[in-house]
Amino acid sequence: MKRTFLLLIAALALLPMTERSAAAGSWGPLGVRGGVSADGEDNSAYLIEAFGTYQLPWGLRNKAGWGVWTEAAITAGTLSTEEDNGFIGTLGPAFRFGNPDFPVELDLGVSIAIISRDRFGLKDYNGIQQFVSHAELIYHFTPGFGLSYRFQHMSNAGFNGGPNPGINMHLIGVDWYP
């Protein structure tokens, strides 16, 4: 999975620019999202964060408008359990799949994450350096407003040694497109 994702990033970086997206070089979407742990063993963990994406110039689109484009995503928020609260911030690439004439988009990405503490309640995430991978569906009600559902996984990917417990989360977001 990691190898395929890295090869896709490299291929898009080496492609000559196809039709430059009208949004390339601009911010959007921006928004807020929150949600809860998908696992019952995470002390009722929940996440609330603000997010922003910067549209990058690389992408592929067919004549019908379907395609993939790149973006850099950044978040800042709070990861909490019944016992503890802490900061979480992420930065990383994402790929958005869709068509401007269709109201649903798919967003896939992997980010580097920093958390302010490695222990929340009884769960030890074994380091403040983490990785977050996600899959997100966005529904556009208007060109400037959408709602999203995101499934994300955070773990240290084994880089900090064992244990590597990780956490899965379900998140709902409100997306604004400036």
- pLDDT single digits (tens) 53-86: 999 999 999 999 999 999 999 999 999 988 899 9
User: Tokens in use for 96?
Assistant: 């958005």
Q: Alpha helix locations (H) across the chain?
A: 2-14
The yes-or-no verdict on residue 10 having pLDDT over 70 is no
Smallest Cα–Cα separation from 20: which of 64, 67, 52, 53?
A: 67
Smallest Cα–Cα separation from 100: which of 9, 21, 8?
A: 21
Query: What structural domains does the chain harbor?
Result: 2-176 (2.40.160.20)
